[in-house]
A and B are shown apart, each in its own frame.
Chain A
């Protein structure tokens, strides 16, 4: 149900943090993390996941396969 940040690639630039419509991103130990329970994959807000679109390092904000994909409430 969420995106995750690949820790080793994150430059800690903080660009993603203010773009997240759900306040799901925060700094932790010098890198940034996504709280899976808050991330909606931007569904309901924007066409594209904002963290992916703004992140300067390709393939750093990626789908977290360990949790089920987000389902928008109907």
Chain B
């Protein structure tokens, strides 16, 4: 075959230094299938908890579910299933499925053949890409032929890639057998209610048995089908995660009951995401002024459910197609047109070697944190602080304050450190443009943190951060995040004890509205 200019480009990308590739994707750890992120917190950090041993085995190194693993592996989505069988008030299907509450982003619709080729092209370029998801726009199970055809093609060409899908659950009970036969790794169901009284305010209608059903009837059918599907997955031994969109005033308190209901039916993780809603999304909630939760409200709800089961807090509602994973600048290299002309060689061996290397790095991060924690164990204090971190991934503090598109938030106390979420911010430093305007946005997004760890920071933002009571810290540049967080916390405690500083609870922070595009 005559090499086209595109395919030689593809070859050139493959030769990019790994370091560079890793940087580009490191920010997109796997996980949730979804939009804009001001997440307040993360999952399996509590360890095995109440998970059954066989589930823990499957989950502990899983890029989507293990808090540590998701800092090192990545996942991509393909949009092959645009049709949907229900309507959600937070979705405008002119744009993407907000199953994952990410309205406002249009993604490319692909045929199963195009999707499979795209996955192989991306996986060959990015060895950490280990999970493929089919989510929105639309419902994968309202488009079963397209969804399963895509799975079939990928399972054949790249058996090492894990498959997953997200669904609203309406059609789920009809497809559990097929899902099982494709060895699908895990299924995500979006369950926002278990009470039709609540549901009628979230779902205007469903398409059911050749009719459009509305109101409480629609919500009742939907919840019955969702819970039935969940029970069937559990019985079939397929991992099942539940996503819920937190809609203040509509289902916020109710989600505690949802948490109990899904846990008792075998869901191993519950991911509560903030509603992202703005008038320009054109959704019902966007237009009627329904607000999303603040960072503190979200975290409070996640905390109140945490005792019940593992909560997933690292979901950053990323954009569902692989563009997020590739970064804006690279998405242009993987357009349908270019992919169709590429001569894709799937390098299974190279991927394996690379993943082994990542695994070593991951273990080093964990070891460093544990070593640092060892002598904190003897201390006890009620004080817990949040720290924002600018990072490109690899578990290190390696991003310039001005270049960070988001901050990772860690909570540290004498019991240890844990990752509790992401806060998205606008690019603060865009060639000097608009700096005065964006700095306050950044500060609002991390206002609940005592410190921000960066690789580098300019004098001006440093002063503004200090004035806002946030300590800008660059002394841990390029070190491991959690190890540094624990070290910082030790010093913080010491200063509080000596009276040098007074510990005060920080205020709330903003969840930024709008879809998460670059990752």
Which A residues form the contact surface with B (CB < 8 A)?
Answer: 11-15, 18-19, 46-48, 50, 52-54, 56-57
Contacts and interface: CB of A to CB of B under 8 A. Distances in A.
Contact of A13 (B83, B210, B211, B212): B83
A46 B93 contact: no
A8 to B, nearest CB: 11
B85 A11 contact: no
A33 B263 CA distance: 45
B93 A47 contact: no
Contacts of A18: 83
Interface in B93-120: 93-94, 109
Contact of B85 (A12, A47, A54, A57): A54
20 contacts: A11-B94, A13-B82, A13-B93, A13-B138, A15-B85, A15-B207, A18-B83, A19-B210, A46-B210, A47-B210, A47-B211, A48-B210, A48-B211, A48-B212, A53-B210, A53-B212, A54-B85, A56-B87, A57-B93, A57-B94
Given A48-B212, A53-B207, A13 B85 contact: no
A47 B212 CA distance: 11
B86 to A, nearest CB: 9
Contacts, number: 45
A71 B138 CA distance: 35
A14 B210 contact: no
A56 B211 contact: no
A50 B143 CA distance: 16
Contact of B82 (A14, A47, A48): A14
Contacts of A56: 84, 87, 93
Nearest to A14: B83
Interface string B217-246: 000000000000000000000000000000
A33 to B, nearest CB: 16
A36 to B, nearest CB: 22
Contacts of A19: 210
B142 interface: yes
Interface of B: 82-85, 87, 93-94, 109, 137-138, 142-143, 207, 210-212
A12 B82 CA distance: 8
A50 B210 contact: yes
User: Interface SS of chain B: helix, strand, loop or mixed?
Assistant: loop
Nearest to B207: A54
B66 to A, nearest CB: 34
A7 to B, nearest CB: 14
Given A11-B93, A19-B210, A57-B93, 19 more contacts: A11-B82, A12-B82, A12-B109, A13-B83, A13-B84, A14-B83, A14-B143, A15-B82, A15-B84, A15-B207, A46-B210, A47-B210, A48-B210, A48-B211, A52-B212, A53-B207, A53-B210, A53-B211, A56-B87
A39 to B, nearest CB: 16
Nearest to A50: B210
Contacts of B210: 19, 46-48, 50, 53
B80 to A, nearest CB: 11
A14 B93 CA distance: 12
8 nearest A-B residue pairs (beta carbon):
A15-B83, A53-B212, A13-B82, A56-B93, A54-B207, A46-B210, A13-B83, A14-B83
Contacts of B93: 11, 13, 56-57
Nearest to A47: B211
A70 B7 CA distance: 53
A21 to B, nearest CB: 9
Contacts of A52: 212
A48 to B, nearest CB: 6
Nearest to B86: A56
B474 to A, nearest CB: 47
Contacts of B94: 11, 57
B134 to A, nearest CB: 15
A13 B84 CA distance: 8
Contacts of B83: 13-15, 18, 54
Contacts of A54: 83, 85, 207, 212
Contacts of A48: 210-212
A54 B84 CA distance: 8
A19 B210 CA distance: 8
A52 B211 CA distance: 10
Nearest to A16: B83
Contacts of B82: 11-15
Nearest to A21: B210
A68 to B, nearest CB: 25
A18 B138 CA distance: 15
Contacts of A15: 82-85, 138, 142, 207
A18 B85 CA distance: 12
B222 to A, nearest CB: 15
Contacts of B142: 15
A54 B210 CA distance: 8
Contacts of B85: 15, 54
A47 B84 CA distance: 21
A37 B210 CA distance: 22
Contacts of A57: 93-94
A53 B87 CA distance: 11
Contacts of A46: 210-211
B8 to A, nearest CB: 30
